[in-house]
Chain A
Amino acid sequence: MTRPVADEQLIPTSGSPVFRALVGAFNHNKLSWVGLGLFMALAILAIGAPVFAPFDPIDQSIMSRMKPPSAEHLFGTDQYGRDLFSRALYGARISLLVGVVSVLLGLVIGGSLGVIAGYFGRVTDTIIMRVMDVMLSFPTLIMGIIIVALLGPSLPNVIIAITATLVPKFARIARAPTIAIKERAYIEACHAMGYSDLRIMLLHIVPNILAEILVMASLWTANAIMIEAGFSFLGLGVRPPTPTWGGMIREGFEHIFQAPWMSLFPGICILLAVMSLNLLGDGLRDAVDPRLKRSKEG
């Protein structure tokens, strides 16, 4: 991730120009507003699930097993007669929670490691990045599956596993711009003024690489949601009867011939959540990387 960084970003600034650039890029790429809106809507539905859900997500009803979508059951019902719309709303909680929390943890841990490696260089850099290389030597999903399988399937363990796959990625993208920035004159000035390393890293390097990292954070949240769904689909995620989108697809797949809606609706939910974050990430990327913006939209 050594893409050339526009000069104006490297001059220490307060947040407002960044915010202006963001709104500008979003206006330029209207779909980013769609992405933001869609994600906010999903977040509101997830948070307000107890209010919006017409039924209890784990209440079984033998009388209404595998009913197709209707006015009463928008998404239909499953093999235990549970209302799939209510389950999808509660499932959104797990997906969004896992996505946001593991990306935040990955960003803080991996980002710090990357900045430290890039800032101090030499042995520190070698040790940190070697460890990251080792972690990147396994396919993401495989590493996640191994960690969850070993720790046991539960919400915290799913978050730990996904965070572990994100740490080396964040470290990589934080390190490259840190190396570029630390050579700049204003960092030298900071050294001359006797600022501590911690202060330089936190106040003068992090704010200037944050924009780029946040772009990846939004795209990787999309990935994290997909991985969580994959875990649940394989039966390695949060335990039933807690509803998860991946778990619902798994149960639906077992009844694919009689009740295809059981897997279709949760699948569409994942698609919408992931798509909203991808659209949002594209908009953020345009704001951060003017070179790409020109070539992409022209």
Chain B
Amino acid sequence: MTFRQLAARNPTTFFIARRLLFSIPTILAVLTVIFFAMRTLPGDPAYAILGDIATAEAIEALRERLGLNLPVSQQYLDFLLGIFQGDFGTSLVFGRPVLGEILRVLPFTLELTFASIIIGSAVGIPLGVLSALYRNRLLDYITRVVSLIGFSIPVFFTAILLILAFAVHFRWFPVISSGNSAGFSGRINELVLPALTGALSLMAMMTRATRSSMLEVLGEDYVRTARAKGAPRTIIVIRHALRNALIPVVTIIGLYFALIIGNSVLIETVFTRPGLGSLIIGSLDNRDYPMVQGLLVIYALIIVVVNLATDLSYSVIDPRVKRS
């Protein structure tokens, strides 16, 4: 079987393979940039870490430990090989492998991100559909004002408002989301306010995107045909219109994933919650360069994977993508 036939027989696998191949040079380039950026830092890292009071021997010992004595080309190769073997170096603060520390807090950030996306989509998509169906009526105006505020408000301000309302006034949820709560309900209880914070801006974007996308699709010929055939309104809205309207909306989830992974720095800071964001802020404060470097690699990998997943989800929702 030729390559072409193979591709024709299983287009989805071929599509995934091709996109994976294309992301390899990007990942390599990203790793290279991270490596050299961390090495062009002003001053000697060993000196920066230990400070003025350190003895010459201590600095030399640390340089040895960090591999700073080796030629740059050797350090670069070691770095790349290490990454591919899952060795991201050792944290200067924790004295433990960087990757282990990252994997320990990663679930908190992912939990926050997915919870925000689920809440934001569950509220935003139906609101967008309703807003489009009842265009220029009261519901539509209210929805549009709410979504305008939703994506104009900084996340840390949303967080503070939620804390004032639900943690200080009503005392329903804790102010601090330490991640140490025992049991499932404790964990959910701590997650509510951070997740709502993250969800608000996504909800706003989803509502908006769904609305304008629905308005466009509702005017298409196939929707008119379905209507002419006498199909029930719900079927038209869901099967004919929404499925097509969701194609651009999926991109928003992809973009949003990157946004909230970044915003988690702010959300985690406000709620004193563990996660990638609080880890990178702490590592920058402590000049834990191996940790910062490892986190950057993880962030970049997450973005590459999310972009890939976004592209692939197109081909599931819209089979036309595969053929092109």
Contacts and interface: CB of A to CB of B under 8 A. Distances in A.
Contacts of A263: 157, 160
Interface string B208-248: 00001001100100000000000000000000000000000
Contact of A249 (B148, B157, B258): B157
A135 to B, nearest CB: 8
A298 B215 contact: yes
Interface string A81-105: 0000000000000000000000000
A142 B29 contact: no
B281 interface: yes
Q: Is the interface of B mostly helix, strand, loop or mixed?
A: helix
Interface string A119-153: 00000000000110110111111100110011000
B303 A146 contact: no
Contacts of A256: 160, 163-164, 168
B304 A274 contact: no
Given A270-B157, A279-B148, A233 B135 contact: no
A253 B163 CA distance: 10
B157 A134 contact: no
B21 interface: no
B30 A137 contact: yes
B292 A146 contact: yes
A260 interface: yes
Interface string B270-286: 10000000001100100
A260 B135 contact: no
Contacts of B299: 138-139, 142
B259 A234 contact: no
Contact of B153 (A140, A150, A253, A271): A271
B88 interface: no
B14 to A, nearest CB: 22
B25 interface: yes
Contact of A146 (B164, B259, B296): B296
B151 A278 contact: yes
A98 B258 CA distance: 23
How large, as a class, is the contact surface on chain B?
35 or more
B91 to A, nearest CB: 17
B86 interface: no
A69 interface: no
Contacts of B29: 130-131, 133-134
Interface string A145-169: 1100110000000000000000000
Contacts of A130: 25-26, 29
Nearest to B132: A295
A68 interface: no
Contact of B262 (A141, A233, A275, A278): A141
29 contacts: A137-B303, A138-B299, A138-B300, A139-B259, A139-B303, A140-B258, A140-B259, A141-B262, A142-B261, A142-B280, A145-B265, A146-B296, A150-B41, A230-B154, A233-B154, A234-B265, A246-B156, A256-B160, A256-B164, A257-B168, A267-B160, A270-B153, A271-B149, A271-B152, A278-B148, A295-B215, A295-B216, A295-B219, A298-B215
The 8 closest A-B pairs by CB, nearest first: A139-B262, A141-B262, A267-B157, A275-B152, A274-B152, A149-B284, A137-B300, A295-B215
Interface of A: 130-131, 133-134, 136-142, 145-146, 149-150, 222, 226, 229-230, 233-234, 246, 249, 252-253, 256-257, 260, 263, 267, 270-271, 274-275, 278-279, 292, 295-296, 298
Interface of B: 25-26, 29-30, 33, 37, 41, 135-136, 148-149, 151-157, 160-161, 163-164, 168, 212, 215-216, 219, 258-259, 261-263, 265-266, 269-270, 280-281, 284, 292, 296, 299-300, 303-304
